[in-house]
Amino acid sequence: MVKVSVFRLEHRAVRDKRISTHVALVARAFGADSIYYSGDKDSEMEKSVTDIAESWGGPFTIEHVDSYRKFIKDFKGEKLHLTMYGLPYKTELKQLDKQDKLIIVGGGKVPFEVYEMADRNIAVTSQPHSEVAALGIFLEHLSGEKKGFKNAKQVITPQDCGKKVVEK
Amino acid sequence: MVKVSVFRLEHRAVRDKRISTHVALVARAFGADSIYYSGDKDSEMEKSVTDIAESWGGPFTIEHVDSYRKFIKDFKGEKLHLTMYGLPYKTELKQLDKQDKLIIVGGGKVPFEVYEMADRNIAVTSQPHSEVAALGIFLEHLSGEKKGFKNAKQVITPQDCGKKVVEK
């Protein structure tokens, strides 16, 4: 099975805390096993994400890396950079191979070398919106909704009107 | 054609500024004509959103409302509340009618009466992730990527490696 990881570029601890947390949780919900990020090391964000994975199940890990350049270069597999300037996702999705995937999302101004290091630059619409939504839509097509989280302490029973959480 | 609007519940100007802005831009990119929001009136966020719509095209409007209760109650059409506690989106999507839609997203702790006022409570996965991604995924299925924005001052020409923006 193809393993999917997400890379969040150049996290800024003050400005990006919530957005990067959302990116991480979307990665987890749609089948990635891990998120890596560069920029500011942010223990508070890491704790938010690992707390969620402990409560709602894993496996899911978050890890800071010092150099996006080295990390992306060394990654073994297909490197897909989500950017509004790239080629349309619906056609790109059909052309992916069977290798493991690294899905790269910005992060402030993305250095041009990231475009060059990526195997594909992929646009989830050519409009400005959100790396959170772009990642969610892309992963939903690529991997779909993840089922069967391991070691969840709680799980939701879907309701038409109400909140039902079952402790395990 | 079914008209789609988005409602962002109980915006908090300091904490939610970027997340709510992302919600608005996702709404625009996937075919909503307008976003409404309750909570703190936030002129700075409104300006970010209207600036994007002026540059990249519309129509798209953002409007603050004082009472979510009155707004949701008075809306003529199908009221769909996105929540991780709701019923699975893939089956819910098949059961929608032809009325105009209001897509409701939280916002902090969502008052229980919102669950009751909604015609459907819909989960884009039963996992905690992001209202931004949930909205993006839901709208992508409901309306798809919007094409043909009016009066855009700039437009992207998709590239395999690079950024090309054409001024109009």
pLDDT, tens only, A14-36: 999 999 999 999 999 999 999 99
The answer to whether the Cβ–Cβ distance between A18 and B19 falls below 8 Å is: yes
**Residues from chain A contacting residue B30 (CB–CB below 8 Å):** 125
CATH number reported for the structural domain that contains residue A38 in this entry: 3.40.1280.10
Give the confidence band of A108 by pLDDT, cuts at 50, 70, 90. Answer: confident
pLDDT value at residue B65: 98
pTM here is 0.98
- Answer whether A116 sits within 8 Å of B161, measured CB to CB: yes
Q: CA dihedral in degrees (A63, A68, A72, A74; nearest 10)?
A: -80
Domains: count for chain B: 1
A61 is in which domain, residue-wise?
4-167
- Residues B64-92: pLDDT tens digits? 999 999 999 999 999 999 999 999 999 99
Direct distance between the N- and C-terminal alpha carbons of chain A, in angstroms, rounded to an integer: 28
Contacts of B165 in chain A (CB under 8 A): 85
Residue B132 and residue B23 in contact, taking contact as beta carbons nearer than 8 Å: yes
Per-residue pLDDT, B1: 82
C-alpha to C-alpha distance for B144 and B30, rounded to whole angstroms: 6
Query: What parts of chain B have a pLDDT lower than 50?
Result: none
Of the candidates A23, A137, A145, which has its C-beta nearest B125's C-beta?
A: A145
Which residue of chain A is at minimal alpha-carbon distance from B111? A162
Gyration radius of chain A over CA positions = 16
